[in-house]
Structure 1
Amino acid sequence: MTNWIQLLKNGNKPALLAAIVNVIIAALKAGAFFLTGNVAMFAEMMHSIGDAANQLFVYVGSALSKKAPTPKYPNGFGRIVNLVCLGAVLIVAILSYETIVGGIHHLLNPSESGGLWINLAVLGIGIVLESFVLYKASKEVFHDAGIEHVGLSSYPKSFKHLKKAKPPTKLVFMEDLVATSGGLIAFAAVLLAHFFGWFAAEGVASIIIGVMMFYVVGKVFLENARGAIGETDEEMLAHIAHLLADDQDIVDIQRVEVVKEGEFLHVEIIAEVATSNTVEYVLNVKDRLLTTILNQKGIQDVIISLVGDDGVESWTGTNSSNLTENRKKLPE
């Protein structure tokens, strides 16, 4: 039991915060929907329920992914977070479908809903809380990217660093971005329906929110599917190739593999050293390289094989499109 508690402490904190906040928001929106029958509120309720379930699963998955390798699972559990994210987006897909169907039904059969101030108050609270979670997620994006947080300006700047964020952080950020935007759209729809008599606006809002949810489904699904299979991290591969090429003891590089599994990177290297070196010297070089590479961000384990110089140049020092095919040429 203690081990499980310790694992959960290492889970993705923004995902846990987002799950708690979305449970509160979902309860408020459910109450408002049952009191007023507002279709835009129904869409927002479904969205918050889906987000709460997703983010709870992602939090648990991110914690389990940090479990140490065992004899039965020697490669560790890094890909669990990708599998959990894949399962989470299926929930969002189902709720997205129901949201769009509800919106279409209201669009074809528009009707007036009451409780203006209840709807606006609940949506307003939801927007404020979702904005707070989105801000926390943007800070985590910077943390994952290894960049110092820069205050409120981190939110707009976080988009360009989003690709470097861990899968759980990216999922929370995208879901809360859609949730905040969806809240604003639903808020506008309620105002249009009440003050301008355009009752179909709530149905339009529901459809737009559902489509945005589907976008998150597609984006997150593709990224985590690649992670579950095992994707090469080209940026880190290039960085490690530079470290090796700049090392005075490395004569040539035959192969570098950097595979991303969940939040972690696994590295495999085959490099050449001068044949005149003693075994003891080569072992010291290997230990030094292991320490250097393990200190790079996100790397969990490294396998290094040092062989004698074969006199044939494998690394050209230029970027090559054949890198993923033959692993003989490494980028600059």
Structure 2
Amino acid sequence: MHRRSSPRLVVYAALAGNIAVAVTKLVAAAITGSAAMFSEAIHSVVDCGNEGLLLYGYHRATRRPDLVHPLGFGRELYFWSFIVALLLFALGAGVSLYQGVRHVIAPEPVEYVLMSYVVLGLSFLFESTSWIVAWRTFAKVRGSLGFWTAFRQSKDPPAFMVLFEDSAALAGLSIAAAGIAAADMLEMPILDGVASILIGLVLAVTAVLLAIESKSLLIGERATPSLVDAICRIAQEQPGVMHANSALTAQLAPDQAMVALSIEFDNALRTEQIEACVAEIERRVQLTHPEVVALFVKPQTVEQFERARERRFGQFALPASPAIARSA
């Protein structure tokens, strides 16, 4: 997948849109007394906080490594992304479900219905603008991959979080409008509460999906297989390398990866020649893949590598190097 040219642009766009939407909805909810409108207002307020936390995570992730954190602070972005998912579930979905149940138990007529429609229309316009920015950014990131595959393989949570939040917001606005219209035309105010419950369920499902993916990144996912393939090719082209076996990788941040490369060197090489070979591999990797912030090289025969792989991963195979793939 392609890297984003402006990682924070989509977050800033979403933050600006959500601030405008939140203020509009809060005023309308206070005037109309609509449960669905209040749920939407809470959703927008939570989204504002979420965008702020994502920007804070970006800032914290760029700190320089220290002796206690030698691989840097890149995963702090993943931590705050996970917190965002939890907030969306606890505050966004939780408050919406509570308000919906409360209005189903004790229905109250929606006042100033026309104002509600105007506010929902303006909110839909603001959210649509943010959604378009998020969609175009994610489309560039995913390249030719399918949507679900790109979501699962993404190493940059804000790239998909804002898109999911905006999509949930647009769905919530549609539900709120339908609920208010049904409650008004059918003179059944309980439907306003039902709409609030549905909005809560939409937010809950969205939050669970975001939490699952953010948790996986926080625990530690591998870098993309294409990075392993590219680094193995670089090593294989180096004189003195018999086999570039494969590599263990870990994604430390959207633009940071650690690589442990297994190589079988020519037995005729002396220590200083192996050191020079490793230094040249490091130089070329840094030149072509600056996202690799740490590269470790372990001399191993193919047989030693396979035994080590089986001990650690069992039947699961690591990506094979180009040379091994051709000889297999």
TM-score (norm. length: structure 1): 0.81
> 1:20-64, CA deviations, whole angstroms, 9 ceiling, x for partnerless residues?
211111110000000000111011001101111011111111122
Give the alignment partner of residue 262 of structure 1, picking from 241, 246, 253.
253
2:60 matches 1:64? yes
User: Residue 172 of structure 1: CA displacement?
Assistant: 1.1
Q: Which residue does 1:220 correspond to in 2? A: 210
> 1:185-208, CA deviations, whole angstroms, 9 ceiling, x for partnerless residues?
111222222223332222121111
Q: Which residue does 2:201 correspond to in 1? A: 211
Q: Which residue does 2:126 correspond to in 1? A: 129
Q: Which residue does 1:299 correspond to in 2? A: 291
> 1:122-165, CA deviations, whole angstroms, 9 ceiling, x for partnerless residues?
111111111111111122223434x39xxxxx9xx755533343
Q: Which residue does 2:23 correspond to in 1? A: 27
> 1:247-295, CA deviations, whole angstroms, 9 ceiling, x for partnerless residues?
3643234552111123232111121111223556544532443244345
- 2:260·2:298 contact (CA, 8 Å) conserved in 1? no
Change in CA separation of 1:298 and 1:196 when aligned onto 2, cut-off 3 Å: farther
Q: Which residue does 1:83 correspond to in 2? A: 79
Q: Which residue does 2:326 correspond to in 1? A: none
Tell me how far apart the structure 1 counterparts of residues 284 and 49 of structure 2 sit (CA, whole Å): 40
Change in CA separation of 1:180 and 1:288 when aligned onto 2, cut-off 3 Å: farther
2:177 matches 1:180? no
Kindly report which structure 2 residues correspond to 1:7-26, keeping only aligned pairs within 5 A, or say none.
12-26=8-22
> 1:225-253, CA deviations, whole angstroms, 9 ceiling, x for partnerless residues?
22222222363465357526853643234
Structure with more contact order per residue of length (Cα contacts < 8 Å, sep ≥ 6): 2
Give the alignment partner of residue 251 of structure 1, picking from 242, 246, 249.
242
SS in 1 for 2:73: coil
- 1:265·1:298 contact (CA, 8 Å) conserved in 2? no
Q: Let me know the Cα RMSD of the aligned residues.
A: 3.1
User: For structure 1, which segment, 248-257 or 58-67, has the greater mean C-alpha deviation from structure 2 after superposition?
Assistant: 248-257
TM-score (norm. length: structure 2): 0.82
Q: Which residue does 2:101 correspond to in 1? A: 104
Tell me how far apart the structure 1 counterparts of residues 224 and 208 of structure 2 sit (CA, whole Å): 23
Change in CA separation of 1:160 and 1:224 when aligned onto 2, cut-off 3 Å: closer
> 1:279-312, CA deviations, whole angstroms, 9 ceiling, x for partnerless residues?
56544532443244345668332323253x6474
Tell me how far apart the structure 2 counterparts of residues 326 and 296 of structure 1 sit (CA, whole Å): 32
2:43 matches 1:47? yes
User: Residue 327 of structure 1: CA displacement?
Assistant: 10
Equivalences, count: 310
- 2:10·2:133 contact (CA, 8 Å) conserved in 1? yes
Tell me how far apart the structure 2 counterparts of residues 131 and 323 of structure 1 sit (CA, whole Å): 51
Change in CA separation of 1:186 and 1:295 when aligned onto 2, cut-off 3 Å: farther
Tell me how far apart the structure 2 counterparts of residues 291 and 73 of structure 1 sit (CA, whole Å): 24
2:201 matches 1:197? no
Identity %: 20
Tell me how far apart the structure 1 counterparts of residues 263 and 236 of structure 2 sit (CA, whole Å): 12
User: For structure 1, which segment, 159-168 or 43-52, has the greater mean C-alpha deviation from structure 2 after superposition?
Assistant: 159-168
